[in-house]
Amino acid sequence: MTATTLPRGDSATEPDPPHDEPAGAPPTREGRRPAATAGRALGLGVVGLWLSVIVLLPLAALTVRSFDEGVGGFWDAVTAPVALAALGVTLGVSAVVALLNAVMGTLVAWVLVRDDFPGQRVVNALIDLPFALPTIVASIVLLSLYGPNSPVGIHLNATRWALVVALTFVTLPFVVRSVQPVLIELDREVEEAAASLGASNLTTFRRVVLPTLAPAVISGTGLAFARAVGEYGSVVLIGGNIPRETQVVSQYIQQQIEIDRPANAAAVSVALLAVSFLTLFVLRVWAGRNQRKEARSS
């Protein structure tokens, strides 16, 4: 598996495919066949209805219901001290996890591409495990090692470190899988050119390799951050759910539903959604700008 399970940050900014008929073009063969046109209209209707019922309507209901008690109610729900604390813990831990991923993910990708050792293929396949493993299993797996009965004597249960470990576990593939293909495609001659001009390995990496990898590292890191912010399953057992300490936003929302405060839950959900969307939006704009820069200059 490659980065196929990652959100495709660039798909919405994609230019229309070239075989798309330009507006005002003479009707094509299919265009003249009424049956085909009717079929397409039906197909489009079905797609629109499906996406609306499954994705759009629930999110619309969520957004509208979050303002059930007015803008003031929304604001009070989001700025309740415990909610703010949960938001703070979530963002702080996610930022640490994202940075850890940026460094270690790049390093792991480098070793997987440039190094050659027995068992490398197994290690490479192992990287995808966190994507294949159910999050609740991830939680209990980490609990068995770092939990109350830790066989190695490391007790992270109900600490922020537990959150870091759990979120690092589930976000591991993002940076590795976004950097790996770039590293494989990297023109080795460019590194040789730098060496022939007298650059040491460190200089070559810092000034020639890293600038090329940077977009992939940043996009992988951003995706990991967005995933970490909304994560629930992997922290539910090991995180401890202690308000103001280790409770993350998703746990806070779940708690609000349990104590029958749906409006609060909806309001904080909208805030959480906003954080995720903002992250992905910034990434997309930035990736689009990079792409345009490349397109303009080539």
Partner 1 sequence: MRTSRGTTLALRSVALVYLVGLLAVPIGVILWRTFEPGVGAFVASVQTPAAISALNLSLLIVAIVVPLNVLFGVVTAIALARWKVPFRGVVQAVVDLPFAVSPIVVGVSLIMLWGVTGWFGGLESATGVKVIFGLPGMVIATIFVTLPFVVREVEPVLHEIGTEQEQAASTLGASGWQTFWRITVPAIRWGLTYGVVLTVARALGEFGAVIMVSSGFPGVSQTLTLLVHSRYIDDHNTYGAYAAATLLMGLALVTLLGMTLLDRKRSTR
Partner 2 sequence: MISVTDARKTYGDFVALDGVSIDIPSGSLTALLGPSGSGKSTLLRSIAGLEGLDGGVVSIAGVDVTHQPPQKRGIGFVFQHYAAFKHMTVRDNVAFGLTIRKRPKAEVRKKVDDLLEIVGLDGFQHRYPSQLSGGQRQRMALARALAVDPQVLLLDEPFGALDAKVRADLRRWLRRLHDEVHVTTVLVTHDQEEALDVADRIAVLNQGRIEQVGDPVSLYEKPANDFVMSFLGSVARLGGQLVRPHDIVLERDRAAAFEADARTPGSPGVVTATVERVVRLGFEVRVELRADSGERFAAQVTRAEADRQQFGPGETVHARATRPADATEVDPALAI
Partner from partner 1, partner 2, none binding residue 298, C-beta < 5-8 Å depending on class:
partner 2
Partner from partner 1, partner 2, none binding residue 12, C-beta < 5-8 Å depending on class:
partner 1
Query: Which residue number, 260 or 297, has a Cβ lying nearer to partner 1?
Result: 260
Distance CA 239, CA 167 (A): 10
Q: Please work out, in degrees rounded to the nearest 5, the angle formed at the alpha carbon of residue 116 by the alpha carbons of 112 and 119.
A: 80
Which residues make Cβ contacts (< 8 Å) with residue 254, sequence separation at least 6? Answer: 232, 265
Instruction: For residue 120, count other CB atoms closer than 10 A to its CB.
Output: 13
Nearest to 21 by CA among 11, 35, 9, 31: 31
Query: Which residue number, 196 or 297, has a Cβ lying nearer to partner 1?
Result: 196
Give the nearest distance from C-beta 282 to partner 1 in angstroms.
12
> Are 143 and 157 in contact, with CB atoms under 8 Å apart?
yes
Give the nearest distance from C-beta 55 to partner 1 in angstroms.
5
Query: Which residue number, 61 or 82, has a Cβ lying nearer to partner 1?
Result: 61
Distance CA 164, CA 94 (A): 8
Which residues make Cβ contacts (< 8 Å) with residue 4, sequence separation at least 6? Answer: none
Give the nearest distance from C-beta 6 to partner 1 in angstroms.
7
- 200 is an interface residue for partner 2 by CB under 8 A: yes
- 208 is an interface residue for partner 2 by CB under 8 A: yes
Choosing from 63, 124, 159, 212, the residue that interacts with partner 2 (CB under 8 A) is 212
Choosing from 14, 30, 68, 294, the residue that interacts with partner 2 (CB under 8 A) is 294
| Type of residue found at 85 | A
Partner from partner 2, partner 1, none binding residue 221, C-beta < 5-8 Å depending on class:
none
Collapsing DSSP states into helix, strand and coil, what is residue 115?
Answer: coil
**Binding-site size, partner 2 (CB under 8 A):** 20
Phi, psi of 42, rounded to the nearest 5 degrees: -60, -45
- 297 is an interface residue for partner 2 by CB under 8 A: yes
- 187 is an interface residue for partner 2 by CB under 8 A: yes
- CA 221 from centroid of its chain's CA atoms: 8
- CA 191 from centroid of its chain's CA atoms: 31
Give the nearest distance from C-beta 187 to partner 2 in angstroms.
6
> Are 229 and 293 in contact, with CB atoms under 8 Å apart?
no
Nearest to 74 by CA among 210, 273, 289: 273
Partner from partner 1, partner 2, none binding residue 231, C-beta < 5-8 Å depending on class:
partner 1
Q: Which residues of 210-247 are buried (b: 16+ CB within 10 A; e: fewer)?
A: eeebebbbbbbbbbbbbbbbbbbebbbbbbbbeeeebb
Choosing from 4, 11, 149, 298, the residue that interacts with partner 2 (CB under 8 A) is 298
Partner from partner 1, partner 2, none binding residue 197, C-beta < 5-8 Å depending on class:
partner 2
Query: Which residue number, 68 or 294, has a Cβ lying nearer to partner 2?
Result: 294
Partner from partner 2, partner 1, none binding residue 198, C-beta < 5-8 Å depending on class:
partner 2
Stretch binding partner 2 (CB under 8 A), from 172-180, 197-205, 233-241, 247-255 = 197-205
Cα Rg of the chain (Å, integer): 23
Positions in the binding site for partner 2 (CB under 8 A): 187, 189-190, 192-200, 203, 207-208, 211-212, 294, 297-298
